[in-house]
Structure 1
Amino acid sequence: MKTVTIRNRDMYWDIAADIHFPPGFDENKRYPAIVSAHPIGSCKEQSSGNVYGAALAQEGFVVIAFDRSFQGDSGGEPRRIEDPTLTVEDFRHVVDYLVTLSYVDEERIGVLGICGGGGYAINASMTERRFKAVASITGVNFGRLSREGFTNYDPIAALEAMAKQRTAEARGAQVQVDVFVPASVEGAKQAGITDIDVLGAADYYRNRCVKPHGETSAVFSHRAVSVGWDAFHLAEVLLTQPLMVVVGDRPGGFGAYRDGQEIYGRAASKDKHIVVLENTSHYELYDQPGPVGKALEKVVPFFKANL
């Protein structure tokens, strides 16, 4: 593995990324490549790189797992901004970097994303035609989630509050940061939380995969863009690449099962597949060997056939 920095030419900071190489890598050869995108409020060391990136590299792909702008080791201030429009541009900059590498075949570049990264990967693919195949692992439409559960199903009130907070911060007030995940599974249960996704998030981020940049938080005043965004907008027209959607059949509050079914139905792709894993929840698809292995059994041949 090699850590690199990618210049974000539209802004004034760099994007951090890890490149995972296949066994026996030879820089004089040309390889298919996959861009791997991390979940919401996460980082490249959580699932996108250490799990799926490493596994796909073992199968012969060059895989680049990157931190989105304002998150992880990438630049951008203030920290912890979750902005879908800027995120889609991050995908383009990562591809710009890939096509400068002599060992990457520019005609065989795919993209994979986990959770919100899956929704971002789908959206980016609609207009970034250098992506030749798309895979979503328990993908979530962050715009839909932002309008619903993350605003208590009252997006207008949330937008009004964001506007007031942004004005206050412009005048010198302290930045307000929303934390998406409980501090512990036990604390969440004591607070009466029963949703399988929230409890799964607490277990994953607080116990199973604790990383310095896995902050699972976002600046409240900069979340308005997410409320007005939709990962699947124009999928019936623009999403034509081969598509693989993997979800578990144990739905939770974050809505990956629902979103997976929706994008599978709406995508214009003629070559599209949905894999519903039995007795599997959202966060089990992040790192648990059984569910991850079953997902890769479908995703690996999908990418090999289309890249």
Structure 2
Amino acid sequence: MQKSIQFKNKNWEVAAYLNLPENFDENLKQRAIICVHPGSSVKEQTAGEYAKKLAQEGFITLAFDASFQGESGGEPRFLEDPATRVEDIKCAVDHLTTLKFIDNEKIGVLGICAGGGYAANAALTERRIKAVATVSTSNFCRAYKESLDPIQILEAVGKQRTAEANGAEPIIVNWTPNSVEEAKAQGMDELDLLECIDYYRTPRGNHPRSSNQLLFTSFGNNVNFDAFHLADQLLTQPLLVIVGDKVGAFGSYRDGFELYNKAASKSKNIHVVKDASHYDLYDHPKATSEAMSALILFFKENL
């Protein structure tokens, strides 16, 4: 059973789905998992699908739209702000603790792609999170720093902020080209990018609220954020990292191993899904089935 709910982050509402298992009994204290979507995504896509499958295995799950995006509130629209993304997760924990059927000592988090980086980062300082799992995790801002000139971007962001302060309209850019053909015409033919477009911009995974729109000034918040900073000291919860072995330019294979190696967790594991790419782990049955088996075992053992 899926319920549409809202919870607060500061003074706006965050839109979410609460998924209840088939045998749900509100009189029993139960385990819960917060599912965090990738950048450019919404709760109805890959994180929401993992959330539904985990609910079928007996967990209560919560998948939400990031602040400023999807059905969630907050201004300006289409902002990708790492600090707020992390705070969204903490506010989701807040909400779960208000539900009488949640065991507050058995709350975990699962993040996909950039959501994996945000999930790990939230767990550094959110001790109410008792177990952390990531799928195709991306230290999102590291990828931006490597693919763009950060000083040039920051100069451009500063000029745009000055323009907006003086009345100019915000600039909205695309997360990705709108089609594979458009990408190739621009000389972009890397595996992860083409598969990203195939997932988000075709009927395979497209959702109307996943609009491919990003506020340009978001880049000013992103280039200096390191999702794994202090993981070697503060990330002590049990950790499961799931990656595919088909390595693409977005770097989730490398980021997954970096998180695994860096984490201070005494109980940690990295699971490599063979012949799977970053985006195979979003929705391809064989890859997601293997990932789900690992996730179910991990959360049952650690929540």
Question: Quick one: distance in 1 between partners of 2:139 and 2:26?
Answer: 37
User: Is 2:68 the counterpart of 1:70?
Assistant: yes
- Give a deviation string over 1:101-152, Cα, whole Å, max 9, x none: 0111100000001000000000000100000000000010012112122xx2
Letter in 2 for 1:176: I
Could you tell me how far 1:223 is from its partner in structure 2? 2.2
For 2:272, the equivalent position in structure 1 comes to 276
For 1:5, the equivalent position in structure 2 comes to 6
For 2:124, the equivalent position in structure 1 comes to 126
- Give a deviation string over 1:268-290, Cα, whole Å, max 9, x none: 00111111111111111111111
User: Is 2:27 the counterpart of 1:31?
Assistant: no
Alignment check: 8 A CA contact 2:153 2:219 kept: no
Any unmatched runs of 5+ in structure 1? none
**Partner of residue 167 from structure 1, selected from 162, 168, 186:** 162
Question: Quick one: distance in 2 between partners of 1:282 and 1:90?
Answer: 24
For 2:14, the equivalent position in structure 1 comes to 15
Could you tell me how far 1:29 is from its partner in structure 2? 1.5
For 1:135, the equivalent position in structure 2 comes to 133
Question: Quick one: distance in 2 between partners of 1:72 and 1:286?
Answer: 19
Q: Root-mean-square deviation (CA), in Å?
A: 1.0
Question: Quick one: distance in 1 between partners of 2:141 and 2:230?
Answer: 14
User: Is 2:303 the counterpart of 1:304?
Assistant: no
For 1:210, the equivalent position in structure 2 comes to 206
TM-score w.r.t. the length of structure 2 is 0.97
User: Is 2:113 the counterpart of 1:115?
Assistant: yes
For 2:224, the equivalent position in structure 1 comes to 228
Question: Quick one: distance in 1 between partners of 2:269 and 2:196?
Answer: 26
Q: Sequence identity of aligned pairs in percent?
A: 51
Alignment check: 8 A CA contact 2:23 2:58 kept: no
- Give a deviation string over 1:42-71, Cα, whole Å, max 9, x none: 11011111x100110011100000111101
Letter in 1 for 2:219: R
For 2:101, the equivalent position in structure 1 comes to 103
Letter in 2 for 1:199: L
Alignment check: 8 A CA contact 1:40 1:216 kept: no
- Give a deviation string over 1:238-274, Cα, whole Å, max 9, x none: 0000000001111112110110011111000011111
Secondary structure at 1:281 match in 2: coil
Task: Report the more deviating stretch, 24-33 or 210-219.
Answer: 210-219
Question: Quick one: distance in 1 between partners of 2:196 and 2:6?
Answer: 29
Letter in 2 for 1:214: S
Could you tell me how far 1:194 is from its partner in structure 2? 1.6
Letter in 1 for 2:178: A
Question: Quick one: distance in 2 between partners of 1:142 and 1:267?
Answer: 17
Could you tell me how far 1:41 is from its partner in structure 2? 1.2
Could you tell me how far 1:215 is from its partner in structure 2? 2.1
Question: Quick one: distance in 2 between partners of 1:116 and 1:102?
Answer: 31
For 2:171, the equivalent position in structure 1 comes to 176
Secondary structure at 2:245 match in 1: strand
Alignment check: 8 A CA contact 1:166 1:222 kept: no
Task: Report the more deviating stretch, 121-130 or 223-232.
Answer: 223-232
Letter in 1 for 2:117: G
Equivalent residue pairs, number: 301
For 1:80, the equivalent position in structure 2 comes to 78
Any unmatched runs of 5+ in structure 2? none
Question: Quick one: distance in 2 between partners of 1:88 and 1:141?
Answer: 13
- Give a deviation string over 1:73-93, Cα, whole Å, max 9, x none: 110111110000111111111
Question: Quick one: distance in 2 between partners of 1:306 and 1:127?
Answer: 19
Question: Quick one: distance in 1 between partners of 2:212 and 2:142?
Answer: 18
